[in-house]
Chain A
Amino acid sequence: MALTLNMTVNGKARKVTVESNALLSDVLRVNLGLTGTHVGCDTSQCGACTVHVDGVSVKSCTMLAAQADGATITTIEGLAAPDGTLHPMQAAFKEHHGLQCGFCTPGMVMSAVDLARCEPNASEEQIREWLEGNICRCTGYHNIVKAVKTGLTDMQSGGKVAAE
C-alpha cells in the first residue's frame, strides 16, 4: 500500500509517496537523495544509519518511514549552516581526524550531537558508553573520543567557526 508522508528534512518540507513497508533509511537515501546516511548492517547494530527524528538520534535502517510522518528529521547533510559553516561536532571530527575510511562517520557525528542533548558535559567514559552502538573498523577510536569531547565543548560555547 502506498502512503504519502510529510516530513521536514534538514529544514525543508518534503512530501514522499512510498510503500508502507519502506524504511526511513531507504526514503532518505533513495527518495530524497541524502546518501550521507549510510547502511552497514540493516539491523541497527552498526550505527552508520543514525539520524535525528524530532531531535533524538535513531537508527534509520530499522525505522519505518511511516513512523516518521509529520516528524522533523536531521541528517548529516543538514548539520552544517546553509553558508557551509560546519557544525561544531563536524568541525571537531575534522580537526581531530576522528575518521579514516569515513563510512561510519555520519552515524558517529549524529550520535555525538545527540549526546549533547542528554549529557552536554559528558566525560570520556560517558562518550565511550554512548557510542557503544556505533562500530568503527578503521580508526583507533581515540580520535573519535577526542573529537566528541571537543565537539561537546564547542557546542556549548556557541561553536567554533570552521567555514569551508
Chain B
Amino acid sequence: MTDHANTPDTTVTRRGLLAGAGALVIGFSLPLSGRRGALAAADDGPVWKTSDEAAQINAWLRIGPDGSVTVVTGRSEMGQGPTTALPQALAEELGVPMDRVTFAMSPVDPAYNNTLFGAMITGGSTSVKSDFEQMRRAGASAREMLKAAAAEKWGVDAAELKVENGTISHAHHSATFGELAGAAAEMEAPKDVALKKPADWTLIGTDVKRLDTHAKATGQATFGIDVVVPDMLHAAILQAPTFGATLESVDAKPATDMKGVAQVVELDDAIMVLADTWWTADQALSKLSPKWTGGAEDLDDAKVDRVLTEGLDAAEAAQAVSEGDADGALSGAAKTVEATYSAPYLAHLTMEPMTATADVRADKAELWLPTQAQTWTAGAVAKAVGLKPEQVTIHTTFLGGGFGRRAEQDFALQAAQASKAAGRPVKLVWSRPQDVRHDFYRPASKVRFTVGLDEDGLPMAWKARVCCPSIAQRMLPSMIKEGVDPFAVEGLTERAYALPADRSITYVMPELAVPVGFWRSVGHSQNGFFMEAMIDELADAAGMDPLEYRRKLLPQDSRHRRVLDAAADAIGWSEAPAEGRHRGIAVHESFGSIAAEAIEVSVDGDNKVTLHRASACVDCAVAVNPNIIRQQMESALVYGLTAAMFGGVSLKNGQVQEGNFDRIDVMRLRHMPPVEVRIIAEGDAEMGGIGEPGTPPAAPALVAALRRATGKPIRSLPLTAEGFTFG
C-alpha cells in the first residue's frame, strides 16, 4: 500500500535553490477571505489554541485584544527552531517584544508553502531561508496596517506615528497593538513595504529564547503520539519483514478473540491490529502468524557489498563531471593515490516512532501527525482513500525528531487506511523495531578515487567512480539527468578546492531492494566523509599537515578557508596536542552553508576511543538566532558522530537485523566531548541553511583523528565495525 508513485514531483530542485535563490521572487500574497477561512480551521486542532477574539491581520499573523501576537507558520518544528527564528523575523518588523509572541502551525494552504519548494515541506535546511523575507514582509505590512488604523482613529498622518514595543504613539495619543488590531484587520494591506536594513535589526541576530521550551518542559506539547481524538482506536502494525514482500494471508482470529481488540486490517504489505489501547493492539499482533510472499530474500550485507563493488568496476557509467582529460593527466602524475570508501545504510532513529492519527469519512479526511511534508501527505492520503486533496485536513503536531524521515507518507497512509476500514478515528504508532526495520534509509554507497599528484603533492588529475542507490528514482525522478542522481554525487562534484582541470566523476545507479530516502544532509552525509577523508589521505601522501594542505588548495579569500581556520583555531590546532592525543579536521559545504569541525581523540591499546574535545564553525552568511545555530551545530555534530561511530543496519534474508536500541547504539551523554562552536555571519552571501550542514564534517574529522592515532587507513563506516569501541 505504500504507493510512492503518489509522491508529487516537483521541478524545484535543491541545487536550483542553492544556486539561484537570489533570483527567486518571493510569492508574498496578501490573504484573501478564503485564506482566513482556511486559517480558522487551524484553531480546531489539538495542538495550539488561540483566543477567538484575536484579529487576523494577514495569513501569518494574529493579534489578540491583549496585544499577544500569534505567528502562523507552515514550517514544522522538529527541534531545529523555525518556530522561534521565524516569529523573531516577523517581530523585528512588527515592532513587538518577543515575550508577547507565540506561534501556531498553519493548515495546508499555498500561503504557507516553502517558497523554495512550492509546497508545504520542511527540509533541505530551508525553513528560515524560505520564509525569512515573507515573515518580515508580513510583520512590516501589519505594522503599516496598525499605523493606518491609528492614523484614522486620531485623524493624524500615519507617517508621524512612532511604533515601539507593541505600542503606536503620536504627540497626544497612544494605543497598544491589541487596541488597534480589530480596526487594523479591516485596513487595506500596503502594496509594498520597506524592510529594515540589516544594520537596523535589533531582534534578528540576537539570542532570543526558544518559544517552544515551556510547553516541552512541562509535558504540554502535543507530539504525534500524544494526539487524542474522541472515539479513536489504537493501532499497532507489523510490516512484511522482507523488503518487497506482500501479505499472502493471515488468520485474524487469535487477535480478534482478545478482549479489547476491535479489528485486524490487512494491507498489501502489512497487518494492523486496532484495539482500545496500543499495548493491547501490539500484544494481539504478536499472536498472529501472517504468511508473507515474495520479496528480496537473497538480499544481505554481502550482496550489497558485491553490487556496489560491481558498480565501481562497471564498464558503463553515467558521467557526473567531465572536465579535461583525467586519464591523460593521470599518466603524467608524479604519484597516484587510489582509495575505495564505503558507507552503510543508516536508519533515522527519531526519538518519536512513526505515528499518525486519521479520521477518514466518506467526504473528508482529517489527519493529526508529525510531518515534514504536509502537501505531499494531503495528496497521497487523498489518492489512497479516494478523496480530493482539498478534502484532506492536516494538523501538524510537534515532531519528535524528523531528520528527513517524516518527509515520507507511509505512516500517514497506513493510519488513513486503518481509519477507512474501521469507520472510526485511528491512532497508529509504530513500535521501535518497526521503525528501525521499515525506514527509508540513507543509501549505502561506495566511491573509488584515483587521484594523480604533482611533484608538490597537489592534485593534478582527479577521478572518482560513485556507486550509490538512487533516492530521486522513487521521490523526485525528474531530477535524474543523463543517468545521474544528484543526491548520489552531491558533495563530490563541487569545486570548493582548487581541484585539477582534468577531472572525471562517473556514477552507477545500482538496483537494491532497500528503500532509501532523505537522511539529514542526504548525499553530503556520505560524500562529505568520502571527499574529506580522501583529501586527508592526500595530505599524508604529500607529507603535509592536513590543515595546511587544505589551505593550500583553498583560495586566499575563500569562505571555506575562513571557516576551516576558525575551527582549527577553536581547537588550538597551532599547538601540538598533548601526548597520546590526535586530531582531525574537515570542512564541507552543503545547503548553502560551510561547516568545519575538528576533533581530538585518544585510542588505547584495545582500540577503545575517547573523544576529548571538538570544535565546529559554520558560515551561514546571516545568523537570525545565533543560540539556535549553536544548538543545531552541536546537534548535527552528534548526529554525524553517532553515524560514524555506531550507525548502520545489517541485512540478512532481505530483512534488517536490528530492532531496538539494544542492537543499534547511539551516542550517549558520556561520549560527548566539550565543543566550541563559532559562527561566521558576514559578507554579502545569501543566507545558508543550518539544520544539516554540521553533519557531513563530523565523520571525516573523527576518522582523520583515528587514522593519525592508529596509523591505519580507515575507509569504511561505522567505526565499531572497524574494531573500535567508544568508552
Contacts and interface: CB of A to CB of B under 8 A. Distances in A.
Interface of A: 19, 21-23, 26, 29-30, 33-43, 45-46, 48, 75-77, 79-80, 86, 90-91, 93-94, 97, 99-106, 109, 127-129, 131-132, 134-145, 164
Interface residues of B, number: 65
Contact of A35 (B80, B219, B662): B219
Nearest to B672: A141
A38 B217 contact: no
Contact of A139 (B279, B638, B674): B638
Interface of B is mostly: loop
Contacts of B212: 102
B350 interface: yes
B221 interface: yes
Looking at B209, B223, B669, the one whose CB has the most chain A CB atoms below 10 A away is: B669
B549 to A, nearest CB: 29
A103 B401 contact: yes
B519 interface: no
Contact of A99 (B216, B225, B228): B216
Interface stretch (B22-30, B156-164, B297-305, B627-635): B627-635
B259, B279, B403 interface centre (most CB from chain A within 10 Å): B279
Which of B217, B226, B280 has the most chain A CB atoms inside 10 A of its CB?
A: B217
B661 A41 contact: yes
B582 to A, nearest CB: 22
Nearest to A105: B216
A75 B217 CA distance: 12
14 contacts: A33-B228, A40-B351, A41-B432, A45-B662, A86-B218, A102-B213, A102-B216, A132-B669, A138-B401, A138-B635, A140-B633, A142-B674, A145-B669, A164-B214
Nearest to B219: A36
B639 interface: yes
A43 B279 CA distance: 12
Contacts of B216: 99, 102, 105
Contacts of A19: 259-260, 280
B145 to A, nearest CB: 30
Given A90-B218, A100-B79, A103-B223, A139 B660 contact: no
Given A30-B277, A41-B432, A102 B661 contact: no
Contacts of B234: 30
Contacts of B210: 97
B278 interface: yes
A37 to B, nearest CB: 7
B280 A103 contact: no
Contacts of B398: 101-103
Contacts of A138: 78-79, 351, 401, 635
B357 interface: no
A78 to B, nearest CB: 9
B84 to A, nearest CB: 10
User: Closest 8 A-B residue pairs measured CB to CB?
Assistant: A36-B219, A140-B634, A102-B216, A100-B79, A103-B400, A101-B79, A76-B219, A35-B226
